[in-house]
Structure 1
Amino acid sequence: MDWTTLLRLPSTILLALAVIALLFTLAQLLALRARLASRQRLAAALRTLLLLAGFALTLLLAGMGWSLRGYRLLAEETPVVDIDARILSPQRWALTLHWPDGSARQVEVAGDAWRVEAVVLKWKLPALLAGLPPLYRLDRLSGRYDDAQQEAQAPRTVIGFNQAGIYDLPRWMPGVDTVFGSGAFLPLVDEGHYSVSLMRTGALVARPDEATERRLAQPFGG
């Protein structure tokens, strides 16, 4: 990850601001000690107020940065994950997940289709006008049966991504308009390849490649 990408991460920016606020707080603490030593009570009271304000700001920025760990910035359409499918047995599949950073993960799901879900955070109007994009984090991947009755009775598989920070959802943050879930699913075929991306609107989009699309168009998925 280059510095440009790193600086675009919301948690990195907030934690960097928290460090600056902490340095300001420490400077006020040293100034307060000097004013107390010289018995400048009025100046000491002012430094105390600045110290408390700096400490509160440090906690706020650090808490916001920590809570946004795992969230990503949304461009017009941001690649989320690529999925390769291989059949193991009827309604049993091995999936290989390829992340944009080059890492990969292998999982198994049961069903006729896969479904991926994300949590999306959108800002209120002032932040949107300032150009602040929505944020997202992946939540889970699951198998899905075509038949609703089988979905209710057959074994289900759910894989969590555990990308959230210490707080579940930062609804308390200033400027947050709404936090909602977005999901997409596609049928599974052997040797299928799929791409998942997230639009700026917060909609999760899943697309098969050309070969997979041809197989999906054939009876019973080719």
Structure 2
Amino acid sequence: MDWATLLRLPTTLLLVLAAVLALATLVQLVAVRQRLQGGRRLAASWRALLCLTCLALTLLLAGAGYALRGYRLLGEEAPVVEIDARILSPQRWDVTLNWPDGSTRQVQLAGDQWRIEAVVLKWKLPALLAGVPPLYRIDRLSGRYDDAAQEMNAPRTVIDFSENGRFDLLDLKKQYPRWLPEVDTVYGSGAFLPLVDQGHYTVSLMRTGALVARPDEATERRIGQPLGG
């Protein structure tokens, strides 16, 4: 990854700015000490005020950067995950998720379909005009039954992708909405498709914030076949 791409990432940019302001805070702290030692109390007071301002901005940017962990930049259509399914028994599936960074995760789902959900963050007009893209974070994967009555009574499986106890931008927006005035809205988006044996699916997220799920050609043919065909 080149520097131009790296610096477009919100987390990296915010943490770099926080580091710069932290250095400025230290410089101002040294200046305050020098002026106090020289008996220049008024000048030291102004430097102390500037030091506190830099410190407050450092904490704000570092906190925002930390909260953005797990979110990714969203282009015109960003690849989210590839899903492979293998049947274990009727309405019981072994599912492998392959992420764009090369990592994988294997889970088991119950039902006739899989459903994936994401949390999407969109910015207000000034940020959009500046070209700042929306952000997203995968929230959960679950099994889904064709029959609504069975959905209410049959065993359900839900895989949570959030990290317990981790500070998150969504929590920050809920608790302190005035801290993030440029955030327009935070909402959920989901997509689901039928599960078939040896099925392969791709999931992407459009710039509008909509999740899109697509089967490959072989999987699409299996989905169209009657049961037992």
Counterparts in 2 of 1:64 and 1:43: CA distance versus 1, 3 Å: same
Structure 1 Cα separation of the partners of residues 223 and 88 of structure 2: 18
Given the alignment of the two structures, is residue 47 of structure 1 paired with residue 47 of structure 2, yes or no?
yes
Given the alignment of the two structures, is residue 208 of structure 1 paired with residue 215 of structure 2, yes or no?
yes
Query: Among residues 179, 189, 209, which one is paired with 1:182 in the alignment?
Result: 189
What is the match of residue 112 of structure 1? 112
What is the match of residue 199 of structure 1? 206
Give the Å deviation of 1:221.
7.8
- In the alignment, structure 2 segments of 5+ residues that lack a partner are none
What is the match of residue 148 of structure 1? 148
Q: After superposition, where does 1:37-186 map in structure 2 within 5 Å?
A: 37-162=37-162, 165-167=166-168, 169=170, 170-171=172-173, 172=177, 173-186=180-193
Counterparts in 2 of 1:168 and 1:60: CA distance versus 1, 3 Å: closer
Give the Å deviation of 1:220.
2.7
Runs of 4+ deviating beyond 6 Å: none
Structure 2 Cα separation of the partners of residues 221 and 7 of structure 1: 52
Cα pair 2:85 2:195 within 8 Å, conserved: yes
Give the Å deviation of 1:90.
0.2
Structure 2 Cα separation of the partners of residues 216 and 155 of structure 1: 23
User: Percent identical across equivalent pairs?
Assistant: 72
Structure 1 Cα separation of the partners of residues 111 and 5 of structure 2: 37
Cα pair 1:70 1:163 within 8 Å, conserved: no
Cα pair 1:139 1:163 within 8 Å, conserved: no
Q: Which amino acid aligns with 1:117?
A: E
- In the alignment, structure 1 segments of 5+ residues that lack a partner are none
Give the Å deviation of 1:4.
4.8
User: Which deviations, in whole Å up to 9, do the C-alpha atoms of 1:89-117 show, x marking residues without a partner?
Assistant: 00000000000011111000000000000
Give the structure-2-normalised TM-score. Answer: 0.93
Give the structure-1-normalised TM-score. Answer: 0.96
Give the Å deviation of 1:3.
4.6
Cα pair 2:64 2:169 within 8 Å, conserved: no
User: Which deviations, in whole Å up to 9, do the C-alpha atoms of 1:161-188 show, x marking residues without a partner?
Assistant: 1258413614232311100000000000
Aligned length: 222
